[in-house]
Structures are given as C-alpha cells and as structure tokens.
Amino acid sequence: MTSLDSTAPILVTGHRGLVGSAIVRSLQAAGLNNLVLATRTEVDLRDQKQVSDWFDRTRPRYVLHVAGKVGGILANSTYPADFLYDNILMHATVMKAAHESGVEKLLYLGSSCIYPRECPQPIKEEYLLTGPLERTNDAYAVAKISGLVACQSYRRQHGCNFISAMPTNLYGPNDNFSPTGSHVLPALIRRFHEARERG
C-alpha cells in the first residue's frame, strides 16, 4: 500500500499481535496516524453486527486485515475446529463490512501454510492447491485459503480492490511465546531466554 492519503482512516485488525503491531509502528513512523484500532473486547471480529457497526462509525478508506487465531503444531492439532471457525468468521465479517462500507483497498494477510506439505522450494504462487496440506494445521490452512478466495471473490463479483499477501515464517515483538501454543522460532527463543536466565 504505497501512496496512502495521510488523512485517510486506516483500519488495522489484530493491531496488538506480531504483524499488526509492526504494521502500526511502520505506519506511525511514516506519519500515518489516522489509525482505526480496536481490541477484541471492543470489537469481536467474529460478530458481523459489531464489525459492520465499527466500519460504519469509523469509515476506513484502507484496511489491513492481519488479525487471526494463530498457534503452533500442538494448538492446531488440539483445536482444529476453533482455528477453522474463528478465522473463517473473521475473514467473512471484515470483508463483508469492507465491501459494504466502500473501502478503497484491503490487504489480507494469509499464511505460507496454504501451500502443499511437499511443496517444491522455493515456493511459487502457482503451487497453491497442487497437493495435500500439512495434516497438523490443515484446518487453519483451509481457513486461510478461504480468506484468499474471499478476496478473489469480492474482486470478481463486486470489483473490490482486495488483495492477499502470504508471508513466510514470522517472529518478533508481540509474538506468542507460549510453551504450548507458539510456533517453532518463538518457542526456541523462549527456551534460550529461560536457559540464560537460569544461568
């Protein structure tokens, strides 16, 4: 999203998470301070009425949809239905509200887990849906694929400027460092930190 109008409201979902907080810091560093932010207690992104009301009140021109229920292998294996349900609802409510309120551009953050388990390296966009997904997080992957398809569908049916980006593995400030719910890199960072603290 280059050449953003500095006066236009920019809505960032998931602004307290790893990616969302980094985006907010970058936008603010670029002098873009007309940010529309809400915690999950203020707006439940799974609730269409709350999301639509939020969009109606704030009238964002741009949306960076980076919120999502995320976790490591154990969390995904233990709660696949929760990952599927929560993520699909968030994509559906945010994109519907963005369309209905006339958002100029929406960026949806997907996940590299949408590619096949045995994907050739380096990964290319055309490898999407060419083989079975990784079983340990297939429900999450299907939910993320649904977000990608939603962007394509809103673009095709309504002419919405909704686009998707698929990042690689991420880690950094505001990541989930839980010993049972994090991804590999944050889990290792936590273990290194704890080992150093113990001497």
Distance in angstroms (rounded) separating the CA atoms of residues 24 and 179: 27
**For residue 52, how many C-alpha atoms fall within 13 Å in the half-sphere facing its CB?**
8
With 0-12 / 13-18 / 19 or more C-beta atoms within 10 angstroms meaning exposed / middle / buried, residue 124 is exposed
140 is catalytic: yes
Distance in angstroms (rounded) separating the CA atoms of residues 67 and 136: 21
Selected catalytic residue, list 62, 108, 140, 154: 140
**Annotated catalytic sites, by residue?**
140
